[in-house]
Amino acid sequence: MGRILILFVRRLWPPLVVLAGSLGICVVVYMRLEGVRPLDALFWVTHSHSIDSKLVRKSTKVFALLWD
């Protein structure tokens, strides 16, 4: 059982690193574009439908469309 767990973790960590990196980049982009806190930016990354189109800049809308 231990060998299977080690193999599972070995094969799973590269995709998790890529996912965490892309989420981090998106959080930084939203923070820079709109000046929101990191937790709010992470919420926008995971729930892009909650971005109010009347209150954000055009560049934020374009980024949300291209990223999702």
Tens-place pLDDT, residues 6-50: 998 899 999 999 999 999 999 999 999 999 999 999 999 999 888
User: What angle separates helix 58-67 from helix 2-34, to the nearest 10 degrees?
Assistant: 160
Return the DSSP state at 48.
G
**Residue-level pLDDT at 52:** 87
What pLDDT score was predicted for residue 29?
Answer: 95
Q: Report the sign of the C-alpha dihedral through residues 56, 59, 61, 63, in that order.
A: negative
CB 31 within 8 A of CB 11: no
Q: Report pLDDT for 9.
A: 86
**How many Å apart are CA 38 and CA 46, to the nearest integer?**
12
Name the pLDDT band for 59 (thresholds 50, 70, 90).
very high
Q: What is the longest distance spanned by two Cα atoms in the chain?
A: 53
Instruction: Give the pLDDT score at 32.
Output: 96
DSSP 3-state of 58: helix
Q: Does residue 68 register a pLDDT over 80?
A: no
